[in-house]
Chain A
Amino acid sequence: MTQSVLGELRGTHPPAPVGAPVTVEGRSPWQLAWARLRADRVAMVSGAVIVLIIIGALAAPLFSALVGHGPNEQFRDTGLTPAGLPRPPSHTFWLGTDDLGRDLLVRVLYGARISLFAGVLASVIAVSIGVVIGLTAGYLGGLADTVLSRLVDVVLSFPFLLFAIALVAIVGPSLAISVGVIAFFSWASIARVVRGQALSIKEKEYVEAARSLGARDVRIMFVDVLPNLLAPVIVYTTLLIPAAIAFEATLSFLGLGVLPPTATWGNMLSESVQYYKVAWWFVIFPGVALLVTTLAFNLLGDGIRDALDPRAGRAQHR
């Protein structure tokens, strides 16, 4: 799937020329970053792959209706061998079937919905908490900084998968709990980054100017300081999403996330463990879906970082 996408994109999206402006025109830092990102072929391909995955996830019900295979529908006659084993990829089942005779492709598409939803939602929640706490600690300083920084240190030294496991043991597994656990254990590193940046930004003249005009702390924090932190926050969010997707898949794999029969990549892989000796497709396709997704987000995140901070990018390739 990805190979054809890659090829198609190479033909249709030539890298945009940069660094050779013909006429002099004013460009904002964001426009410059966008131009640099456009020129980064790996990042653009990754972005396209992500768009395709999103389309696949959104179109899952449509596709399911089109082929006439529900995500939880069991085809005991056509989808299983006489011995009751999964069937390999064929015209009816493009990616084969699973141990219950369900269409693997439909389930992989439905799994994308859970992965993207959990990954993006958990990241957004984590980033929001991390930004507010980091900004407060960095900007206010003093006691607030001491307390919040210690809190960050404590959360960072939690063995979080074990804690997630323990929590799930008590309240029972669900998508909401997974998202909550992922968000709770991801905000601290962002808070640390934002705090560091806020510390230096609050010494800038424009912050002093705002203060001398009588702006209140909350206004300065969110109107004057925050926009200047957007670059690292965007980069962190893009890099957090794949981590959150992997985390959700791990929880589902251990039977502590979204429970069957709802299809997720994690619980599909967990079911496939018993069948890997007879049905390679059962392991490979959900695995590839998961790996391609996390890889695409990480590559895009790297590209965005290089685009937003060209200096860091050059240092990397020095």
Chain B
Amino acid sequence: MVKFFARRVLFGILVMWVISVAVFVMFFVAPHDVARLLAGRQATPQTVAAVRHNLGLDRSLLAQYGSFVWRLLHGNLGFSYYNSEPVTHLLISRLPVSASLALGGVVLWLAIGISGGVLAASRPRSVADRTVTGLSLFFFSMPTFLLGLLLLYFLFFRLHLAGVDTFPGSGYVPLTSSPAGWANHLILPWFTVALSTAAVYSRLTRGSMLDVLGEDYIRTARAKGIGNLRLIYVHGLRSALTPVVTQVGVDLAILLGGLVVTEQIFGLPGLGQLAVLSITTRDLPVVIGIVLLASFFVVVANIVVDLLYAVLDPRVHVH
């Protein structure tokens, strides 16, 4: 177990390293002139040279890479080109919004996906099964931003016209100031983030559950006279969830993409909105900071998922 954990962590460090190299190459080596970009259109060659010197872009690539990594390891992501605020401050101030959206989204996506899949699998070919299968194909085909727009249009705007203001269309209320307002403002964004991925999970859970229910130990349990509910939820679900859990690790990267789109549509002041904003203002340090932070989350979450995987299914032998 310890060895397995160590290997996963090593691989995680490798991934982070590759990502940092990719970011470095993209931003500092790629054939474009950051200094020119920053100095502005009417800059004299002297200004451009000064900017280049200030950023350390006139040094050798190796030296640049060295200081890039050195600063990273010290948690220093540099300063925003736009308003000179430290990038770390910007990220921290926006993190709670994205974290709220992501956590709620994941909980909802797993809850809907797994319960839908179990419901479909426990009565194959029934009306419930067909409904779940049809709905999951529908939501699976729905791009996140389109779902967001449709939810905004029907559940916020049409209901608002009808005098029902259950679902706010934009804005964010911190959890600390009003838990109810927080949840209320996040309902539509949560569903936006969750539904298309939940569709994948209900299909996955259904398939995996059907496979498990065909296994010998389930027949044994049934022969011992265990009730249907206990059979499905206690004996079946546990091992049926293994492939589902593995998939969660892969899909976290997709989730982050969903955050960008959802925050944009619902006007949530999170990291995704900051990313899009920083791109329009060409604020490269902030973009780099967000990409690195997001990658870090994906890597860490994948390690956690792999450990969960081993804990969840007693049949998995960890080498």
Q: Interface of A with B (CB < 8 Å)?
A: 150, 153-154, 156-163, 165-171, 242, 246, 249-250, 253-256, 266, 269, 272-273, 276-277, 280, 283, 287, 290-291, 294-295, 297-299, 302, 315-318
Contact = CB atoms under 8 A, between A and B. Distances in A.
B144 A162 contact: no
6 contacts: A159-B294, A169-B284, A250-B145, A254-B264, A280-B153, A294-B143
Interface centre among A166, A171, A266 (most CB of B within 10 A): A166
A157 B261 contact: no
Nearest to A247: B143
Contact of A242 (B19, B141, B145): B141
A281 B150 CA distance: 12
Interface of B: 11, 14-15, 18-19, 22-23, 26-27, 30, 32, 124-125, 137-138, 140-146, 149-150, 152-153, 157, 207, 210-211, 214, 249-250, 253-254, 256-257, 260-261, 264-265, 275-276, 278-280, 282, 284, 287-288, 290-291, 294-295, 297-299, 302
B142 A250 contact: no
A269 B150 CA distance: 11
A156 B305 CA distance: 15
Nearest to A276: B153
A40 to B, nearest CB: 14
A287 B149 CA distance: 9
A299 B257 contact: no
Given A157-B298, A280-B153, A169 B253 contact: no
Contact of A249 (B145, B152, B284, B297): B145
What 4 A-B pairs are tightest by C-beta distance, nearest first? A161-B257, A246-B143, A169-B279, A295-B141
A170 B32 contact: yes
A317 B150 CA distance: 32
B149 A157 contact: no
B30 A316 contact: no
A287 B146 contact: yes
Contact of B256 (A162, A169, A171): A162
B137 A250 contact: no
B111 to A, nearest CB: 23
A167 to B, nearest CB: 6
B140 A298 contact: yes
A76 to B, nearest CB: 26
A170 B30 contact: yes
Contacts of A316: 207, 210
B199 to A, nearest CB: 10
B149 to A, nearest CB: 6
Majority secondary structure of chain B interface residues (helix, strand, loop or mixed): helix
A28 to B, nearest CB: 28
Given A287-B146, A317-B125, 12 more contacts: A154-B18, A156-B250, A157-B298, A170-B32, A249-B145, A249-B146, A250-B145, A254-B276, A273-B149, A283-B150, A290-B146, A302-B137
Contacts of B279: 165-166, 168-169, 256
Contacts of A162: 256-257, 260, 275, 290-291, 294-295
Contact of A295 (B18, B137, B278): B137
Contact of A153 (B11, B23, B287, B291): B11
A249 B148 CA distance: 14
A122 B149 CA distance: 26
B287 A254 contact: no
Contacts of B145: 249-250, 253-254, 266, 269
Contacts of A266: 145
A283 B149 CA distance: 8
Contact of A287 (B150, B276, B278): B150
B146 A158 contact: no
A108 to B, nearest CB: 14
Interface centre among A159, A161, A171, A277 (most CB of B within 10 A): A159
Contacts of A294: 141-143
A87 to B, nearest CB: 19
Contacts of A302: 137
A65 to B, nearest CB: 30
Contact of A159 (B157, B207, B253): B253
A158 B295 contact: yes
A100 B211 CA distance: 55
B256 A269 contact: no
B314 to A, nearest CB: 25
Contacts of A160: 253, 257
A162 B91 CA distance: 15
Contacts of B137: 295, 298-299, 302
Contacts of A163: 22, 291
B287 A165 contact: yes
Contact of A166 (B14, B15, B143, B291): B291
Contacts of A277: 157
A276 B138 CA distance: 23
Given A249-B145, A254-B260, A154 B150 contact: no
